[in-house]
Structure 1
Amino acid sequence: MHSASSPALSPHIRTVGRALPPHYASQEQLIGAFRELWAQKHFNLERLEDLHRAVNVSGRFLALPIEEYAPLTSFQQRNDAWIRASVELGEQVVRQALDKAGLTPKDVDHVFFVTVTGLAVPSIEARLANRLGFRRDFRRTPLFGLGCVAGAAGVARAVDYLRAYPRHTALVLAVELCSLTLQREDLSIPNIIASGLFGDGAACAVLQGAEVSAPGPRVVDSRSVFYPDTERVMGWDIVDSGFKVVLSAKVPVLVRDNVRDDVDTFLASHGLRRSDIRHWVAHTGGPKVLQAFEQSLELPAAALTRSWASLKEVGNLSSASVLFVLGETLESQEPQPGDWGVLMAMGPGFCAELVLLRW
């Protein structure tokens, strides 16, 4: 057994801060706005409503008030709005996460920043350093393009770092403002579904190395899985107007066909089975993805309750989603010492990230 399999030598997750932007719109309000927008193009509006209601989302929090989206006609305008809102939301969620852990920005050694909904150079964590007062020697790893998998992958990469620096503190900050990527001219089914499914939010996980004594589940191991020749399953086409969604109906099929073997192989390397896992922390990909997780892994009915609830309340927050579910799991009274958990997400590539937790 390699050292990664000893929980005592593993880094741990202290806290997860979560923040939603201040503007909320119910799904009915959003359907109304899209009806108005797409009616002029003679789009089949009944189909629009069916697709929006099928995603099981009751509403979304938005980076801007709903009436401020119409004037944003260029990629630059949307991206500028993304930078402003990301810095605000990012600052809020980092402060919250550090406060919960009893730490300050000066305690942070490394920030992993993940996003797939906007571009900024210098990146958002650098802009936050000026506002929050991180130390001058803090390290930065901005990760763009991992999409929904980045919440889990960011945790895994932070843990890789903390194995080398067991006294350090790392943040995984995810900021996703999906509403600012919407392509209003795109009447494709994937874009209609995306406009009904994805929401805005930010999350920040605080992780510490094995030599820092602190509460929270240990991250015993992680595994990345890459599925060859699946580039067109999920992602963006970068077009003149910004990010145009690529979203194939094959996503749930890929999950259903692969996740059981991937999870079983990963758990077997630690002498574990699915029945040993008490806590399943799954990315809220959408109703079909959550059903595929449940069916393929033969999970008990209540196993993904938090993921279903998060999907309904705030939509799919891309990389921040799995961290929202993780934060709620940490703060519930459910996990007991000795419990095992699996954090899992999937994203463009197409790929999966599995993270093994031990309380």
Structure 2
Amino acid sequence: MTIDIAPAEVLGEVPEFELHDTARPGPGRLPVHPRIVGVGSAVTPTSYTQGEVLDAFSITDPKVRSVFLNSAIERRNLTLPPAAADGIRSPESQGDLLDKHKDLALEMGGEALRACLKRAGAELADVRHLCCVTSTGFLTPGLSALLIRELGIDRHCSRSDIVGMGCNAGLNALGVVAGWATAHPGELAVVLCAEVCSAAYAMDSSMRTAVVNSLFGDGAAAVALVAGGDCALGGPDVLKFASCIIPEAVDAMRYDWDRTLERFSFFLDPQIPYVVGAHAEIVVERLLADTGLRRSDIRHWLVHSGGKKVIDAVVVNLGLTRHDVRHTVGVLRDHGNVSSGSFLFSYERLLDETVTRPGEYGVLMTMGPGSTIETALVRW
């Protein structure tokens, strides 16, 4: 893959705020922003309706069934424990869950990475930095090293692994890799989010577990970046990031050790949608500060599919329309919450619509443990 670095004057008119960018390469030169040049996704083979999941675990409690059936999720990809002769699915040990995470993360991750590179017109040999994101299992060596071995990627490819940051981590990784791409003009960098939520599936009769088990699905998504790349590649430039951590809600979303179940399990506070919604406007205002842009100037919104109530809270607090979050809602409906890669599933759907136009702006938004909201500003 040959990537030509375009001269600054052909990158199009640059808004005034970019002229003051501290990352510009030298006196009198405009900054070269990393550009998204490819995206791809993958899921595990087996898909279940919410009713099928309830039946698989013989769940009859009307309150639990209501949580599942009113989740705005129609199907999710899951790899559930096999049923015994009596039809009962026994809980898996933590060791079995870790094995499941490793196997499926490699399988989905490899598929998503290849799909991403195909859209970018690149090959595995072109990857110069691989950043892997996951929160559903722990591996040492990390997923990046295992994928380099499994896929035959150049052994000199630099790499990074972001583990345990949760659903917001895809944008944390994008920020890190955007910096790498800017420091290595013309070289291809990839962020890969691989979340095997089936490997974090706990089974008990509590409402805490019911809420989590009704929401998450398996999925992987990859996004490729090049700084100063050929404009013919056509993706948006990544202009800016903004974060907001909510320290008083640090325990509201977590994945920690459950001593009763003797395994890791998720916890989601019922107030999370309202906490996220209340802070969404704050972080978006920070993202747009000094850009001369208003929220009404943003043509495309790609929000994490965190759950029906989370999406509704973001829509209300930012004054968005249902059309603005159509991809977010569609991903939740078809796959559930696929954690750190959810916003990339939405981005892929936006690209498939072929509705973006040069000069349009978009906002990417994820949220997760911390509690944290991450955002990025992009321009086509």
TM bucket (normalised to shorter chain) is: over 0.9
Aligned-pair distance for 1:287?
A: 0.6
1:285-344 CA-partner distances (Å, limit 9, x unpaired): 101100011000001231101111110111000011111001111232111000000000
Match of 1:348 in 2: 369
Q: Deviations over 1:259-297 (max 9, x none)?
A: 112212221221111000000000001011000110000
| Aligned-pair CA distance for 1:65 | 7.2
Per the alignment, residue 52 of structure 1 pairs with: 68
Q: Higher mean Cα deviation, 209-218 or 106-115?
A: 209-218
After superposing the two structures, state which structure 1 stretch, 302-311 or 230-239, moved more.
230-239
The total of aligned residue pairs comes to 351
Given that residues 23 and 65 in structure 1 are in contact (C-alpha distance below 8 angstroms), is that contact kept between their aligned partners in structure 2? Answer: no
Q: Is 1:61–1:201's contact at 8 Å kept on the other side of the alignment? A: yes
Question: Following the alignment from structure 1 to structure 2, what is the Cα–Cα distance between the partners of residues 166 and 239?
Answer: 46
Q: Secondary structure at the match of 1:89?
A: helix
Label 1:180 to 1:130 Cα distance change in 2 as closer, same or farther (>3 A).
same
Q: How far, CA to CA, are the matches of 2:285 and 2:30 in structure 1?
A: 19
- Of 185, 195, 202, 2:220 maps to 202
Partner of residue 304, structure 2: 283
Which has the larger displacement, 144-153 or 340-349?
144-153
Corresponding residue for 1:90? 109
Match of residue 110 from structure 1: 129
The yes-or-no answer on 1:30 pairing with 2:48 is: no
The structure-2 alpha-carbon separation of the partners of 1:26 and 1:66, relative to structure 1 and needing over 3 Å to count, comes to farther
User: After the TM superposition, which residues 171-250 of structure 1 pair with which residues of structure 2 at under 5 Å, given as runs?
Assistant: 171-185=190-204, 187-213=205-231, 214-239=233-258, 241-250=262-271
Aligned partner of 2:37: which letter? R
Which region of structure 1 is more displaced relative to structure 2, 247-256 or 306-315? 247-256
- Alignment match of 1:140 (pick from 132, 139, 159): 159
Q: Matched residue of 2:189: which SS?
A: strand
Matched position secondary structure for 1:270 = coil
Displacement, 1:81? Answer: 1.5
Give secondary structure in 2 for the equivalent of 1:263: helix
Secondary structure of the residue aligned to 2:355 is coil
Q: What is the alpha-carbon distance in structure 2 between the residues aligned to residue 70 and residue 170 of structure 1?
A: 41
| Aligned mates of 1:63, 1:319 — CA distance in 2 | 18
Deviation at 1:15? 1.2
Q: Name the structure with the higher helix share.
A: 1
- State the distance in 1 between where 2:211 and 2:73 align: 11
Does the CA-based 8 Å contact 2:35-2:229 persist in structure 1?
Answer: no
Q: Secondary structure at 1:126's aligned position in 2?
A: helix
2:277 aligned with 1:256: yes
**Does 2:346 correspond to 1:325?**
yes
Larger radius of gyration: 2
CA distance in 2, matches of 1:266, 1:331: 26
Measure, in 2, the Cα distance between the counterparts of 1:166 and 1:9.
8
TM-fit CA distance, 1:223:
1.3
- Structure 1 window deviating more from structure 2 (321-330 vs 336-345): it is 321-330
Q: Distance in 2 between matches of 1:79 and 1:174?
A: 17
Residues 7 and 218 of structure 1 are in contact (CA less than 8 Å); yes or no, is this contact kept in structure 2? no
Distance in 2 (CA, whole Å) between partners of 1:332 and 1:96 is 17
Contact 1:278 1:340 (C-alpha < 8 Å) held by counterparts: yes
Normalising by structure 1, report the TM-score: 0.93
What are the ranges of 5 or more consecutive residues in structure 2 without an aligned counterpart?
Answer: 1-19
- RMSD of aligned Cα (Å): 2.0
Distance 1:169 1:103 in 2: 9
Determine if contact 1:20/1:201 at 8 Å carries over to the other structure: yes
**Is the contact between residue 223 and residue 355 of structure 1 (CA under 8 Å) also seen in structure 2?**
yes
CA contact (8 A) 2:81 2:92 kept: no
- Identity percentage of aligned residues: 32
Whole-angstrom distance in 2 between the partners of 1:13 and 1:66: 40
Deviates more, 1:145-154 or 1:69-78: 69-78
Deviation at 1:7, TM superposition (A): 8.7
Report the alpha carbon displacement of residue 2 of structure 1 after superposing the two structures with TM: 1.4
The equivalent position to 2:43 in structure 1, one of 5, 20, 42, is: 20
Structure 1 residue 229: deviation in Å? 2.6
Q: Is the 8 A contact 1:24 1:61 kept in 2?
A: yes
Letter in 1 for 2:79: A
Unpaired stretches in structure 1, ≥5 consecutive residues: 40-44
The equivalent position to 1:63 in structure 2, one of 76, 79, 83, is 79
